[in-house]
Amino acid sequence: MLQTTNDVHQQFAGFFNDDKLYPYAYEVSKKLSEGHICIELSDSTTLSTLSLVGNANELQPFILHKDKLYLQRYFSYETMIRDSILAFKAAESDSFADRTARLLDEKEFILQQFPGDNGNHTDWQLVAALSALLNNFTIITGGPGTGKTTTVAKLLAVLYRLAPDTKVALAAPTGKAAMRMGESLRKAGLVTPEPIVPKTLHRLLQYVPGAPYFKHDAASPLPYDVVIVDEASMIDAALFAKLLDAVGKDTRLILLGDKDQLASVEAGSLLGDLCKMPHTINHFDQDSAVFFGHWGPVALPASDQQSALAGHVIELQISRRFNAEKGIGRFSKALITNDTAVIDEMMIAGTDPHVIVDDQYDEATFEKFVSGYEAYIQEPDTLTALRKFNAQRILCPVKGGEQGVNRVNRRVEEYLRKRQLINPSSAYYVNRPVMITANYYELDLFNGDTGLIRPDETGTLKAWFETTDGELRGLWPAYLPEPETVFAMTVHKSQGSEYEDVFVMLPKSANESLMTRELLYTAVTRAKQTVTIQGSKPQIQQIASTSVARISGLAARFEETLSSSSIYGLTI
């Protein structure tokens, strides 16, 4: 990713020497490093005449489309995403009548899976499952505890009843998220004809080492009837395009994620872009509304205004984890909606025992939380110790600075060292918690995997990780590719995880553009029981008023009709 002026200059210096284009090229590259897919222009007259700038159907390094300027590669990604989704819709339309008939034939069985507990209110889990069974492309969104994986477990039960030989793939952007997806589905009671082990997207698509390609693409699609991807908010534009390209258009693709969470680290906020298209979430066309009319209180009116994805994006409404009227549920909702009255009320000390705001950065508050790490150190059983360690975490928006991950990890180590609980005198000391920071397929280790350094029965130090089936796996530390200490971690790295208790340390001074409501919402909702936030009240209020606004043209382009010969032949 291009980060500095020098990087950008080197990238483009040998490519062209055009004083008129260079400032725009620099701005496009800078915006990519900030997560945007393109830049918006107020006047594109000058650019439209330059030789290296083309339109949607031209092979040029830069693409000028309407009022937006793209690097060719990212225009290609955006085009692939749009056209792939429309291809899913076209393919599913031929099956609509047959699918509705078969689902109505199994109505009694389906309703047994969704008994409902909302009286006469719409059971959105049932709506989401039926939509995913009708469609070839479906997004199921909702906050923590709204039942996304429970819904998936139930809809798979229906699919297996309809077609016992259905081939299903489960995936997530990171190994940690894939593991948690498997755990959640097991807890939801999913029973499959044969075991399904969730994979990272890179493993699912079969990454080609040393190249930006995957084995599976449009020419060699994934051999599954259903592909389900969790934590879809973490997927960047490039990976999103390649995933859609690799899924056959007669395959069902189901994406799960929280539209309000942080977007991907790389360019793009695709899940949010798709969910936030006008008249999309929980909007249905006439045919779908008629079908839902057969399902009792699920009956939904057809929307007068439609979007290209009406009937394909379902938001679950009720959290089983959080009470919307108090605690983390109330605070997180107030953050994402910038409800200043509720935020101000809940920042008053003693208002709610599950949400604690320390605006003085009190050392005693920090140490009280850190003392919880003593439990895993004193636990003799390694698997139990690893689970106790993963019951709590300190989350920081940034890595550097006094309140950054690096400094906070050293503070925790110093606290535990003084109490003679650890001895961090060597790189791999006993009870050091470590996190893998990249995907290492040959070791079966993935970005975000967390383990503990402990001796085995012979006294040999190993790094212990929990496998997807709940077993321990030990590796020699020398095999580990420079893991990070992980008493504290960045909020971005915490996505796809949940902990009983979370401590959020906001930096006293930081780039305000980084401090957004999505970031704090993501951090707060990693906690299941309590969240403690060290940060000033004005800062929290400012964060709640600042939202991520990544630039893309995806929503607008769903209304367009580009030539089918658009730039799929370009290198992606």
Residues placed in the known binding site:
142-149
Identity of the amino acid at 243? L
**Calpha distance 238→77 (Å, rounded):** 6
Q: Decide: 50 and 20 in contact? Cβ < 8 Å.
A: yes
3-state secondary structure of 356: strand
**Calpha distance 399→178 (Å, rounded):** 25
200, exposed or middle or buried, with CB in 10 Å at 0-12, 13-18, 19+? buried
**Calpha distance 505→369 (Å, rounded):** 12
The two beta strands, 226-229 and 168-172, are parallel
Go through the chain and tell me how many residues it has: 572
**Calpha distance 217→273 (Å, rounded):** 23
Sheet holding 527-534, edge to edge: 355-358, 527-534, 499-505, 392-396, 488-490
Q: Which residues make Cβ contacts (< 8 Å) with residue 542, sequence separation at least 6?
A: 512, 515
Q: Decide: 312 and 255 in contact? Cβ < 8 Å.
A: no
**Calpha distance 145→148 (Å, rounded):** 8
**Calpha distance 548→521 (Å, rounded):** 12
**Calpha distance 458→439 (Å, rounded):** 29
DSSP 399: S
The beta strand positions in 15-78, using DSSP E, are: 39-40, 53-54, 62-65, 68-71
Record the tokens describing residue 529, joined without a space: 């029981």
Q: How far apart are the first and last CA of the chain?
A: 15
Tokens 């690893």, residue located: 386
Name the binding residues for ATP: 142-149
CB atoms under 10 Å from CB of 59, counted, come to: 10
Q: Decide: 122 and 297 in contact? Cβ < 8 Å.
A: yes
Q: Which residues partner with 226 through β-bridges? A: 168, 252
The two beta strands, 355-358 and 392-396, are unpaired
Nearest of 452, 410, 448, 445 to residue 429 by alpha carbon: 452
**Calpha distance 340→334 (Å, rounded):** 7
**Calpha distance 63→25 (Å, rounded):** 11
Q: Decide: 470 and 186 in contact? Cβ < 8 Å.
A: no
What CA–CA distances, in Å, run from 488 to 187, 373, 426, 499, 563?
A: 28, 11, 19, 13, 49
